[in-house]
Amino acid sequence: MHAPREQTYLSATVDIRSWLLTTDHKRIALLYFAGITFFFFIGGIAATLIRFELITPGPTLGSPDFYNRLFTMHGIIMVWFFLIPSIPTTMGNFILPMMIGARDLAFPRLNLASWYLYMSGGLITIAALLLGGLDTGWTFYEPYSTFYATGYVILAVFGIFVAGFSSILTGLNFIVTVHKLRAPGMTWYRLPVFVWSTYATSIILVLATPVLAMTLLMLLAERVLHVGIFSPQLGGDPILFQHMFWFYSHPAVYIMILPSMGVISEVVPVFSSKPLFGYYFVVWCSIAIAAIGFLVWGHHMFVAGQSLYASLAFSFLSYLVAVPSAIKVFNWIATMHEGWIRFDAPMLYAFGFIGLFTIGGLTGLMLAALAVDVHVTDTYFVVAHFHYIMVGGAVMGFFAGLHYWWPKISGRLYPDYWARFAAILAFFGFNLTFFPQFILGYLGMPRRYQSYPPEFQIWHVLSSAGASILAVGYALPIFYFAWSILRGPRASANPWGATGLEWTTRSPPPPENFAKTPTVVRPPYQYDRGKPCMQAGDVR
Partner 1 sequence: MSDRALGFQYGTLAQQRETATLGMWAFLATEVLFFGALIAAYLNYRIWFGQEFIAAASLTKVVLGTANTAVLLTSSACMAMAVTTFDAGSKRAPVLWLSATGLLGLVFIVIKATEWWLEYQEHLVPALNFDLARHGGVAEIFFVFYFCATGLHALHLLIGISLVTWLAVRIGSGRLQPGGSTTRLIGLYWHFVDIVWIFLFPLIYLAGRNA
> Residues 360 to 389: which contact partner 1 by CB under 8 A?
none
Q: Which stretch binds partner 1 (CB under 8 A): 122-130, 174-182, 188-196, 408-416?
A: 174-182
- How does DSSP assign 134-171, residue by residue? --STTTT-TTIIIII--SSHHHHHHHHHHHHHHHHHHH
* 124 lies in the binding site for partner 1 (CB under 8 A): no
Round to whole Å and give the CA distance between 158 and 122. 10
Give the per-residue contact string, 84-103, with partner 1 (x = CB under 8 A; - = no): ------------------xx
Contact yes or no for 213/164 (Cβ under 8 A): yes
3-state secondary structure at position 379 = strand
Cis-peptide into 97, omega within 30 deg: no
* Kind plus residue range of the DSSP H or E element containing 120: helix 108-131
Q: For the CB of residue 202, give the shortest distance to partner 1 in the complex, in Å.
A: 9
Q: Which is nearer to partner 1, 208 or 264 (CB)?
A: 208
Among residues 113, 172, 365, 372, which is the contact residue for partner 1, using CB under 8 A? Answer: 172
Phi, psi at 240, each rounded to 5°: -60, -40
Among residues 5, 180, 487, 516, which is the contact residue for partner 1, using CB under 8 A? Answer: 180
Among residues 8, 56, 154, 237, which is the contact residue for partner 1, using CB under 8 A? Answer: 237
Q: For the CB of residue 513, give the shortest distance to partner 1 in the complex, in Å.
A: 10
* 185 lies in the binding site for partner 1 (CB under 8 A): no
Which of the 8 DSSP states describes residue 490?
Answer: B
Round to whole Å and give the CA distance between 63 and 3. 59
Q: For the CB of residue 205, give the shortest distance to partner 1 in the complex, in Å.
A: 9
Among residues 244, 384, 419, 425, which is the contact residue for partner 1, using CB under 8 A? Answer: 244
Q: Which is nearer to partner 1, 172 or 329 (CB)?
A: 172
* 46 lies in the binding site for partner 1 (CB under 8 A): no
Give the per-residue contact string, 456-495, with partner 1 (x = CB under 8 A; - = no): ----------------------------------------
- How does DSSP assign 397-464, residue by residue? HHHHHHHHHHHHHHSB---HHHHHHHHHHHHHHHHHHHHHHHHHHHHT-BTT-S---GGGHHHHHHHH
* 396 lies in the binding site for partner 1 (CB under 8 A): no
Ramachandran area for residue 2 (φ above 0: left; ψ -120 to 50: alpha; else beta): beta
Q: Which is nearer to partner 1, 95 or 105 (CB)?
A: 105
> CB neighbours (10 Å) of residue 137?
17
* 234 lies in the binding site for partner 1 (CB under 8 A): yes
Q: For the CB of residue 216, give the shortest distance to partner 1 in the complex, in Å.
A: 10
Among residues 61, 113, 176, 476, which is the contact residue for partner 1, using CB under 8 A? Answer: 176
Cis-peptide into 508, omega within 30 deg: yes
Q: Which stretch binds partner 1 (CB under 8 A): 116-124, 178-186, 188-196, 299-307?
A: 178-186
> Residues 187 to 226: which contact partner 1 by CB under 8 A?
206-211, 213-215, 217-218, 221, 225-226
> CB neighbours (10 Å) of residue 486?
8
Ramachandran area for residue 104 (φ above 0: left; ψ -120 to 50: alpha; else beta): beta
> CB neighbours (10 Å) of residue 533?
10
Q: Which is nearer to partner 1, 51 or 223 (CB)?
A: 223
Q: Which is nearer to partner 1, 237 or 413 (CB)?
A: 237
Size of the site for partner 1 (CB under 8 A): 41
Q: For the CB of residue 114, give the shortest distance to partner 1 in the complex, in Å.
A: 13
Phi, psi at 339, each rounded to 5°: -85, 170
Among residues 29, 46, 200, 229, which is the contact residue for partner 1, using CB under 8 A? Answer: 229
Ramachandran area for residue 231 (φ above 0: left; ψ -120 to 50: alpha; else beta): beta
Round to whole Å and give the CA distance between 187 and 193. 13
Q: Which is nearer to partner 1, 221 or 322 (CB)?
A: 221
| Site residues (vs partner 1, CB under 8 A) | 1, 102-108, 168, 172, 175-176, 179-181, 206-211, 213-215, 217-218, 221, 225-229, 234-237, 240, 244, 247, 512, 517
